[in-house]
Amino acid sequence: MVKIRHKELSKKEIIDTSSSQIANLEKALQQKEKELRRCKFKLQRLEMETEVSNRFLQTSVQELEEKNLLLEKYFESNLQLENFAHIASHDLKAPLNNILSFSGLLQKTSNGKLSPSEEKFVAFIIEAAKNMRKTIHSLLRFSLVTNAKIEITSFNPNELLLELKRDLASTLSQKKATLQLSPLPNSITGDITLLREVFQNIILNGVKFIDIKTSPIIEISCEENKTHWVFSVKDNGIGIPEEFKKKIFIMLQRLNTGKEYDGTGMGLSICKKIIEHHGGEIWVDSEVGTGSVFYFSVIKKMYLDVA
């Protein structure tokens, strides 16, 4: 029988083996310590990022709450203003009519009894009252448009504009104005009376706000996107400065004096309300001395319950 004798390790070999194992353990320990430090660093960074995110979220929520509060105040203020416009326009009509009536009677019955200065004063009163009556009428119209339920029908805008062109023929002829109509969609939905008012207002603005030496040219066209019809009304008028492009859609905002161009400064604010009722927007692209292009969009699908 063969006997196998185990080789006995010397003390030196045992020490070398132990040292090697210890070295390996130390390396492994160092590696684990590095990983632990890396994990701690990641944890600290995550905690910092979480804290920053929480602060940002709290700030965002606070800002959102503040903006919502401001928005509520704006809506409330706007509603109060619109109600005031409605009430004031009704309450002021009667005394204003009295001023006009009695001033007119005074002018007729004076029959040369008043001095030239006094006659001028009476004429100023009558002219101011007439201008105020126009403003009151516009305020009442703005209030009615704001609060009214719109009558939605399907109609052909080509036919609408041809009819409007015939109705404005006298004004267009007097101003030597040209109204050019590009082919429009055959059918859209909306309140035909209100949209007619939008077209008429913008067309007449293009005829009115123009250099005296220039013959007005108004071009109307339409483009389609996925959700809206986008109409454009281009003119060759005096143009609008950049800083006034948004202000012109605010109530009673006028860029020119009444002596230069007649008007109350309410027309475009009424147009804005009408277009908002039709799920769209209204804006202008303009350059001073070159002319303006007014754009307004009308949502394609409107239903009878839209108000």
Residue 200 and residue 227 in one domain: yes
pLDDT beneath 50, residues of the chain? 1-7, 257-258, 304-307
Token pair, residue 128, equals 């101011």
pLDDT of residue 9: 53
**Angle (nearest 5°) at CA 186 between 183 and 192:** 105
DSSP letters of 248-295?
A: GGSTT--SS-TTTS---S-HHHHHHHHHHHTT--EEEEEETTTEEEEE
pLDDT of residue 134: 67
Residue 182 and residue 264 in one domain: yes
Prediction pTM value:
0.58
Is residue 235, in this structure, part of any structural domain at all?
yes
* Among candidate residues 132, 147, 162, the one where a domain is terminated: 147
pLDDT of residue 88: 58
pLDDT of residue 116: 78
pLDDT of residue 160: 92
**Number of structural domains, the chain?**
2
pLDDT of residue 304: 46
Q: 79 near 133, Cβ under 8 Å?
A: no
Residue 213 and residue 183 in one domain: yes
pLDDT of residue 296: 92
pLDDT of residue 219: 93
